[in-house]
Structure 1
Amino acid sequence: MRAAKGVWRWRHNPLRRATDLFEAWVALIAALLLLTAAPAAGWATGSLTDESLRQAVRNQRQQRHPVTATVLKPAPAPKPAAYDPESSAGHEKRRPIIAKWTAVDGSRHTGTVSTVLRTARAGDTFTIWTDRAGRVVSRPMDAATARVHAVLAGIGAALTAAGLIACARRLIVRRLVRRRYARLDQAWAAAGPDWGRTGAGS
């Protein structure tokens, strides 16, 4: 509203400069873009991301399968090269063990996997995710997580578009201000030497 009022105010003002009217139009266009283009960019990005993640979820559900693994024995924990608080916290939650499992295609596998079991004894069972050939993979993404990622992507795109619009407006206004100062310096340079002299028209 302020941008629209600025355009209307400078429309017939006898003191207005060309740059004043141009700045008001820039502010109005920027406001309209913030109200239309930024939300549109966010919606489009969110929609495309949502569709892409939905397809990824469908593919993962088709390619990844839960199977039951049986504990054979604990696996020796790898020694960290340096102290890492995050990795230390992760080792407290997941324990490496040697287990066996049967893949969807019927093949049998044995290997080192991690589990959240506090006490992993031989014969205990737990669920792992594998591909069709029996290779251990991560759990497939769920629809709720995909939707959250899509929403965050849309919000990020909208904020980025709004930031670009605001920065473009500021750059244009800064150039206008510099042009005004340059013209003022030129006018002052022309009138300055005769300022206050009798008969100089000052």
Structure 2
Amino acid sequence: MATTCRTAGTRVWLWRWRRNPLLRRSDRFEAWIVLVTWLLVLLAGVLAGRAGAGAVEHGLAVRAAHSHPVRAVLTQDAARTTEDVHGYGDGGVWANVRWSAPGGPHTGLARVEPGLKAGDPVTVWTDGAGNLVSKPATGAETRLQASLVGTIVGCGAAGGVLACGWLVRGRLERQRMEEWAREWECVGPQWR
């Protein structure tokens, strides 16, 4: 019958929580530090992620509430393809447009469909003062941006808490090594 024996590399799970006469007070303290650190990592990650996502959703909702569509007219022909003008890959090109807003007529650059002629009507988005703004994000775009920001913020907060826990454990380890050195100074000469 083969017996299994533990090797030096085998980990014993929850060893800090088991009864052991060799377990020091600092080992128990370290066990609590590890437990509290992981609980705080989860809590900070979730709360910070939700707060970050909520802030993005709120900001995009406010921005959408303060922008509205306005009919404008092209003042120049739009490029026929997106390669004619610096495009961002969304199929639109930049062209000069004119629209009416508080304070009189306004002109500016807006993204329009390629191939439109001067005088063609287009829809642009403006703020309360009549200045051009980008089109508000759709519901899917808002959710995507909020979830990405929430994930990044949550991971950052969790990483910060984890780093603090590691610093506390490192300090505890240094104290433990100093205690062992002091004890060895007393016991070491007796072994020679």
Cα pair 2:86 2:93 within 8 Å, conserved: no
Q: If each structure's helix is expressed as a fraction of its own residues, which one has the higher value?
A: 1
Partner residue in 1 for 2:33: 26
Letter in structure 1 aligned against 2:48: A
For each residue in 1:84-115, what CA deviation from the matched residue of structure 2 results, as whole angstroms up to 9, or x when unmatched? xxx94559952333x43334x6x752524234
Q: Secondary structure at the match of 2:119?
A: coil
Matches within 5 A, 1:49-68: 49-58=56-65, 60=66, 64-68=67-71
Partner residue in 2 for 1:154: 150
Q: How far does residue 147 in structure 1 lie from its aligned partner after superposition?
A: 2.5
Structure 1: give runs of 5+ residues left out of the alignment: 76-86, 197-202
Partner residue in 2 for 1:140: 136
Q: How far does residue 139 in structure 1 lie from its aligned partner after superposition?
A: 1.8
For each residue in 1:166-199, what CA deviation from the matched residue of structure 2 results, as whole angstroms up to 9, or x when unmatched? 1122111111211122122222233334432xxx
Partner residue in 2 for 1:101: 99
Cα pair 1:54 1:143 within 8 Å, conserved: no
- Of 172, 176, 188, the residue aligned with 1:192 is 188
Cα pair 2:68 2:127 within 8 Å, conserved: yes
Q: How far does residue 70 in structure 1 lie from its aligned partner after superposition?
A: 2.2
Structure 2: give runs of 5+ residues left out of the alignment: 1-10, 79-84
Q: Distance in 2 between matches of 1:116 and 1:55?
A: 25
For each residue in 1:24-75, what CA deviation from the matched residue of structure 2 results, as whole angstroms up to 9, or x when unmatched? 11112123223444323323443344344333332x2xxx332222233359
* Number of aligned residue pairs: 174
- Residue 39 (str. 1) matches residue 46 (str. 2): yes
Letter in structure 1 aligned against 2:76: K
Q: Distance in 2 between matches of 1:95 and 1:46?
A: 31
Question: Taking structure 1 as the reference length, what is the TM-score of the superposition?
Answer: 0.67
Cα pair 1:72 1:100 within 8 Å, conserved: yes
Is the radius of gyration larger for structure 1 or structure 2?
1
- Of 168, 179, 184, the residue aligned with 1:183 is 179
Q: Distance in 2 between matches of 1:89 and 1:72?
A: 19
From the superposition, tell whether residues 45 and 188 of structure 1 become closer, same or farther in structure 2 (CA, over 3 Å).
Answer: same
Q: Distance in 1 between matches of 2:127 and 2:42?
A: 46
Question: Taking structure 2 as the reference length, what is the TM-score of the superposition?
Answer: 0.70
Q: Distance in 1 between matches of 2:94 and 2:55?
A: 38
